[in-house]
């Protein structure tokens, strides 16, 4: 016990701050690579590191040399291959936390109406099997994607959304980018995912939506032209076969997290009062 107190006495305030900053750095990195190819790479590096330590313990010199050399050379390859993920992490350090969709006070109702309009449009396009791809900008700016399309800067309505993706429309093949609760651009080109484990039944729209979600924090809505299936992509995860009600609920959760939290608390309070009765 005395030894522990001696160690505690050596700990300075700067040591505590140092450990806290390192922990926060690891938290940011892990949060941004979660459910991405970089996460699988990190797991692979951890496995190699464990094998290297075991090789050192059991004096397996050849294996230790090979793994050490591979990790030294692989560091440069990691920087090149996972440049989008690294850029995303660095961009988060350069800006504070804020929401592109600032659904507070007078903007709440407008945003809810926009989400309802997009949901109605998605339901109609799903019924008629009209392909659609809508990208909702959040923290990460999508100016490079907007620059590949045609600027519209219009209010979100069901009719406009459906007209953009109408098969004979000149902009129907690209993606719509929604920013600040407005349709910013249409006919935009998205980066395709390089994930080789994607199901073969998923087409270009799904690969483009997944690729955008892997490199940014955007929420992507996809309507399949072949099956009419509604899909939402969040943080590199495909949520498929959604009913319109589920889609609307998920959009509110992702684009209006503050209000969604209030709704959850209200629901909990109502349930608690019913149980008391």
pLDDT over 50 (residue 248):
yes
Residue tagged 């940014």 (tokens)? 216
State the total domains in the chain: 2
Among candidate residues 93, 128, 157, the one where a domain is terminated: 93
| Whole-prediction pTM | 0.60
d(CA 141, CA 51): 40
H helical segments located in the chain: 2-10, 13-33, 37-57, 61-81, 83-93, 106-127, 143-146, 158-164, 204-215, 244-255, 257-276
Render pLDDT for 31-66 as a digit per residue (tens, 0 to 9). 766 655 566 667 777 887 888 888 888 888 888 788
Report the pLDDT value the prediction gives residue 75, as an integer from 0 to 100: 67
Q: C-alpha distances in angstroms, 2 versus 13, 69, 128, 235?
A: 21, 44, 75, 48
In a domain, 185, yes or no: yes
Among candidate residues 93, 114, 142, the one where a domain is terminated: 93
Alpha carbons within 13 angstroms on the beta-carbon side of residue 253 total: 9
Do 145 and 174 lie in one domain? The reply is yes
Report the pLDDT value the prediction gives residue 51, as an integer from 0 to 100: 86
Average pLDDT, the chain: 81
Report the pLDDT value the prediction gives residue 232, as an integer from 0 to 100: 97
Residue 17: domain span: 2-93
Do 78 and 114 lie in one domain? The reply is no
In a domain, 98, yes or no: no
d(CA 82, CA 78): 6
Report the pLDDT value the prediction gives residue 159, as an integer from 0 to 100: 96
Q: C-alpha distances in angstroms, 74 versus 55, 65, 85, 121, 277?
A: 19, 14, 16, 47, 63
- Residue 181 contacts residue 113 (beta carbons within 8 Å): no
Do 181 and 157 lie in one domain? The reply is yes
Do 206 and 111 lie in one domain? The reply is yes
Do 160 and 242 lie in one domain? The reply is yes
Report the pLDDT value the prediction gives residue 265, as an integer from 0 to 100: 45
pLDDT over 80 (residue 245):
yes
In a domain, 268, yes or no: no
d(CA 82, CA 37): 8
Render pLDDT for 161-173 as a digit per residue (tens, 0 to 9). 999 999 989 999 9
Among candidate residues 93, 122, 137, the one where a domain is terminated: 93
């Amino acid at each position: 016990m005395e030894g522990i107190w001696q160690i505690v006495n050596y700990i300075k305030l700067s040591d505590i701050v140092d450990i806290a900053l390192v922990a926060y750095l690891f938290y940011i990195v892990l949060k941004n690579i979660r459910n991405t190819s970089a996460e699988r790479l990190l797991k692979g590096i951890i496995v190699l590191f464990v094998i290297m330590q075991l090789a050192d313990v059991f004096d397996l010199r050849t294996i230790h040399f090979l793994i050490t050399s591979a990790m030294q050379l692989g560091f440069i390859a990691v920087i090149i291959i996972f440049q989008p993920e690294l850029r995303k992490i660095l961009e988060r350090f350069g800006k504070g936390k804020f929401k592109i969709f600032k659904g507070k006070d007078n903007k709440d109702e407008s945003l809810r109406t926009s989400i309802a309009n997009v949901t109605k449009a998605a339901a109609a396009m799903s019924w008629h099997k009209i392909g659609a791809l809508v990208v909702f900008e959040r923290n990460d700016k999508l100016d490079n994607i907007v620059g590949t399309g045609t600027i519209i800067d219009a209010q979100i309505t069901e009719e406009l959304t459906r007209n953009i993706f109408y098969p004979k429309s000149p902009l129907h093949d690209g993606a719509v980018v929604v920013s600040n609760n407005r349709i910013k651009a249409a006919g935009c080109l998205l980066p395709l995912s390089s994930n080789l484990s994607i199901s073969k039944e998923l087409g270009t729209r799904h690969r483009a939506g997944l690729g955008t979600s892997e490199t940014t924090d955007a929420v992507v809505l996809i309507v399949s032209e072949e099956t009419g299936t509604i899909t939402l992509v969040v943080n590199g995860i495909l949520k498929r076969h959604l009913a319109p009600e589920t889609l609307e609920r998920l959009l509110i959760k992702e684009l209006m997290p503050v209000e969604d939290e209030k709704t959850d608390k209200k629901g909990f309070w109502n349930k608690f009062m019913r149980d008391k009765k």
